[in-house]
Structure 1
């Protein structure tokens, strides 16, 4: 009999919790980031990217152009400019003390970028992103050189995906 008065109180608490949750969720806005039909896709298609100064920078730039335009290339007249600076570094890991050689390496590709609207020269977003790829070294020097190049390409591709997501987020606002 002592549990009888607690049931209405528990029910009221559950109803209040459900109403609070519903009001919080109603304030959320859910929009697809990769919407191919929306305004964000049109804005992404009107971006031009700065020229690259390195091989890895060119890889990132080419991938970004493909990702933002859907394979159509850069527009003749762009509404937005992205100033992109890409750098790459290799850090040797797992050093063998007896021969002073490494058994593995970490390739880091970093980019700093800023998105500028051409109509009023306003910087919409600037940021820095990095991507890492790991490499196993062999005893052959050419294989090691090729492995580093492949790791740079993998990291550049991943970095372009990250920068594209940042750009899409900035342009969707």
Structure 2
């Protein structure tokens, strides 16, 4: 049975070290939804190529830029003030829930792009994480390694 992307991401993110690794890579400018999708595709041994990478990025980038990032920015911007304002803290919690819903939608869209991408018989050409992270000059190697180790725990 194949696990859908959303549930795979929830399970992966809950593993030790994965949340911190994702946050570290996000701080470097990487899209966590794309990284988690890359992990899912790597786990499934789906071959990676430039056309597929471009499809995923074209799918995620507009939604991230126009929906997820503004919600995240507002939530982050309110962090300090919400410590001293109960109503603002409640609104910030609602923003956080909207941000999660928006990320779930990105993942749903990314999964739909991958329909019909078959698994390979081996993991040759399936290095999705490294190729997805190559958009930054020096991605955090420790964070990438933690994420990779969580894909296929021993």
Q: Is TM > 0.5 for Structure 1 vs Structure 2?
A: no
Structure with the higher fraction of residues in helix conformation: 2
TM-score (norm 1): 0.29
Structure with the higher fraction of residues in strand conformation: 1
TM-score (norm 2): 0.32
Q: Give the number of the structure with larger relative contact order, counting CA–CA contacts within 8 Å between residues 6 or more apart.
A: 2
